[in-house]
Amino acid sequence: MPVNRLATAILLSASALLTAVAHADEARYNQISLSAEVSQEIAHDLMHVTLYSEDQGSDPTALAAKISKTMNDAINQARNVKGITVSSGSRNSYPVYDDKGRKITAWRERAELRLESADFAALSKLTGEMLTTLNMAGMNFSIADATRKTQEDALIKRAIEAFKARAQIATEALGAKDYKIVNLSLNSGGYNPPVFRSNMALAKGAAMMADAVPEVEAGTSQVNVSASGTIEIQPL
C-alpha cells in the first residue's frame, strides 16, 4: 500500500475511534442510575411440625429397636392422613457417663419426625394424636414455592412499572424529552425467619393440641422485588 494511502487509512481509523469515544462519553454523561422496590405481605400456606422420640437404656441395641418401632409406627400413622408429607429428621445416640465421667452407665437416643402440610387442621389434629407417643420439638410456617413464584411474578410487573415511573419523573425533572432503558436488573428477596419458642411454650402448645385441635395463626412473610438499572435521557 502506498504511504499516502496508509496514512489516510490511519487518520480515518483514528477519527472514527475518537468519534466513538466522544459518543460513548456523551452517552455516559446523560445516563442516570435508578432503583425501585415493591413489597407484599404473603400469608404462610405451609405448616411444619417436628416431633421426636427420646429414651434411655442400658442396652444400646434394645434402645435402638425401641426407638425404631416408635418412629415406624408414627410414620405409618402419618402416611395414612391425606395431604401430609412425612420425612425422617435427625437421629443420634450417645453414651451417658457416671458422675466422674469415666464409666458408661447408659445410652440415650433421639430420633426426629418431620411433618408438612397445607391443611393446617389435618396436621394439627394428627399432631395432637401423635403427642401421646412423641414429643414436639417445634412448629413453624412458610410460603410454598408455587405461591412464592406466583406472587413474585406479580411483583416483578409492579417493580418494572415503579422503575418506569421513577425514570419518567427523573426525565421530566431534568428537562429532558424522553429516556431509554440502558440496562435493568430484577432481584427478589424478603423472608421472616421462624420464631423459635421456648420449651415451656412448646410444652403448653403440645398440651393444647393433645386435648383439642386448636386454631393456628400462620402469620405472613414480606416478599419484595427490586428493579435497578440505568436510563439514558434524551435532552430537548
Per-residue model confidence as pLDDT tens digits over 111-124: 999 999 999 999 99
- Placement of cell 417493580 in the chain: 159
**Per-residue pLDDT at 23:** 54
54: how many CB neighbours lie within 10 A of its CB?
14
The torsion defined by the Cα of 47, 48, 49 and 52, in degrees rounded to 10, comes to: 170
Find the mean pLDDT for residues 182-195: 76
143: how many CB neighbours lie within 10 A of its CB?
20
Q: 1 pLDDT exceeds 90? A: no
How much of the chain exceeds pLDDT 90, in percent? 69
pTM: 0.72
Find the mean pLDDT for residues 149-166: 96
Q: What is the DSSP letter of 195?
A: P
